[in-house]
Structure 1
Amino acid sequence: MDLEHDIEPVTALKRSAAELITRASERHSPVIITQNGKPTAVLQDVQSYQRQQRALHLLKLLAQGEHDHEDGRIHDQESVDSLVAARLAAHRGRR
C-alpha cells in the first residue's frame, strides 16, 4: 500500500468512485477512505478481498488445529488406520 496515493477523502469517492474502483482493481491494493481526516472505510477489489478471506479461513483452521493438538484431540496416522480398519471389519461383519 502506498500511503501517499492510497488514502483519499470521502469527497474524492463521491466525485470519482469509478476511478478509485479502477485503481483498487488494477493495483490490487486497497484505497483507504477518510472522513474528517480520519480513516473510516476501505475500498478493495473483489479478487484481493476473496484472497484475504481464504487466508483468514486457513488461519482459523490452523488455530483450531493448534487448539485440538493442545487439548489432545489428534491422532497419528497409525491409530487412524487401525480405527478405519476396525470399523470396516465391523461393517463387513454385519452383512
Structure 2
Amino acid sequence: MRHSTKIKSISYVKANVAEILDQLTESRDPLIVAQNGEAKAVLQDVRSYEEMRETLALLRITALADEDIASRRAYACRRSR
C-alpha cells in the first residue's frame, strides 16, 4: 500500500497537530512528514504502532523457528489425526 498521497510538510504538521492526531486516531492511516520536500518521518496512531510491533515480534519468532528447523536444532511437530 502506498501512502504517497498522505504527505504533509513539517510546517503543516506543526500548525495542525491536534487535528492531525485526531485524524490518525480515527483513520489509523499513517502520515508521512516532509521537510524541505523530502520524506523524513512517519506519524501513526499508538494502537497501529503497537499492533505492528507485535506482528514483527511474531514474524521474528517464526523466522527463528524456521532457522532452527532448517539447521536441525529443532524439529517440526506433526500431529496425527
Bigger mean CA offset, 66-75 vs 49-58 = 66-75
Q: Give the 5 Å matches for 1:39-78.
A: 39-75=39-75, 77=77
Question: Structure 2 counterpart of 1:16, which letter?
Answer: N
Runs (4 or more) in structure 1 with deviation over 6 Å come to none
Question: Structure 2 counterpart of 1:30, which letter?
Answer: P
Which structure's CA Rg is the greater one? 1
Structure-2 separation of matches of 1:31 and 1:22: 12
Unaligned runs of 5+ in 1: 79-95
CA shift, 1:71, in A, is: 1.0
Q: Please identify which structure carries the higher helix content.
A: 1
Which one has more relative contact order, counting CA pairs under 8 Å at least 6 apart? 2
Q: Deviations over 1:12-33 (max 9, x none)?
A: 1110111111111111110000
The TM-score, its normalising length taken from structure 1, stands at: 0.74
Question: Structure 2 counterpart of 1:25, which letter?
Answer: T
The TM-score, its normalising length taken from structure 2, stands at: 0.85
The alignment covers a number of residue pairs equal to: 77
Superposition RMSD on alpha carbons, in Å? 1.7
State the match for 1:3 in structure 2: 4
Question: Structure 2 counterpart of 1:74, which letter?
Answer: A
Q: Deviations over 1:35-91 (max 9, x none)?
A: 00000011100000011001100110011011101110114559xxxxxxxxxxxxx
Calculate percent identity across the aligned residue pairs: 31
